[in-house]
Amino acid sequence: MKDAIIQLEDVWKHYQMGKVKLSALQGISLKVNKGEFLAITGKSGSGKSTIMNLIGCLDLPSKGKIHLDSKDISKLKESKLAQIRGQKIGFIFQQFNLIPTLTALENVALPGEFQNKDSLNLYNKAKKLLDSVEMGDRINHRPTQLSGGQMQRVAIARALINNPDVILADEPTGALDSKTGEQVMKLLDDLNKKEGKSIVIVTHDDSLIRYADRVIELKDGMITREYSNQEAK
């Protein structure tokens, strides 16, 4: 059994809507293992976005514990959580979340700026990452000058700038055509198999689960099924 890099223990997440308390997650326990490719699936309203926010240290649970590299982060202050998040986790979003006024190179380097890294080394690394995702000839282009697939490649390079242990991708192909989506998934697959990155994708697209080692299905804030990719095939 591989070592867990992220572990959720009996995690609940409640939201107060006026006088009504809604439970987005109900007693979730799961592990993300080092070097694993994990897919989390479910229909709209199943709790996928909530669990992504918790795995990515973007939010804290109402109840339960979350361990990152064996450290309980479930009660940390936001400043400390942001620091850990920046060092350990790279994010890829469906709508790319690139800053429109920055070039591709500047967008990739930005998370490193937040970690106070040396600018010269940072921008050299950002250029190499853009080269690695076949965007080396677009480093001075702004997002409005790029296609959806090109923006997602920039987003992948940005996710790697701080050399995170975990890449968390929220519907990574949702805004892309099928051919470009396959290219993006191949990039994520290579990061997993060739570089040993732990990959977690959150998706409602069942066609993406073939890339995963393990699949977790959510419904009404609970895990209803968990299986290996061999079983899925």
Tens digits of per-residue pLDDT, 114-154?
887 888 899 999 999 999 999 999 999 999 999 999 999 99
pLDDT at site 196: 93
Burial 83-117 (b: 16+ CB within 10 A, else e): eebbebbbbbbbebebeeeebbbbbbbbbbeeeeb
User: Which two three-digit tokens encode residue 60?
Assistant: 């804290």
At residue 232 the predicted structure's pLDDT band, cuts being 50, 70 and 90, is very low
The lowest-confidence range among 60-64, 66-70, 207-211 is 66-70
Domain ranges of the chain: 36-46+78-232
**Where does 36-46+78-232 sit in CATH, by number?**
3.40.50.300
Mean pLDDT throughout 1-30? 90
Q: What is the pLDDT of residue 159?
A: 95
Per the prediction, the chain carries an average pLDDT of 92
The three state secondary structure string of the chain is: CCCEEEEEEEEEEEEEECCEEEEEEEEEEEEEECCCEEEEECCCCCCHHHHHHHHCCCCCCCEEEEEECCEECCCCCHHHHHHHHHHHEEEECCCCCCCCCCCHHHHHHHHHHHCCCCHHHHHHHHHHHHHHCCCHHHCCCCHHHCCHHHHHHHHHHHHHCCCCCEEEEECCCCCCCHHHHHHHHHHHHHHHHHHCCEEEEEECCHHHHHHCCEEEEEECCEEEEEEEHHHHC
Q: State pLDDT tens for residues 168-227.
A: 999 999 889 999 999 999 999 999 999 999 999 999 998 999 999 999 999 999 999 999
Percent over 70 (pLDDT), the chain: 97
* 1 contacts 33 by C-beta, under 8 angstroms: yes
- Please state the rounded mean pLDDT for residues 83-89: 88
Is there a contact between 59 and 226 (Cβ–Cβ < 8 Å)?
no
Report pLDDT for 94: 86
Residue 231, pLDDT score: 52
- pLDDT at site 1: 39
Mean pLDDT of 81-90: 88
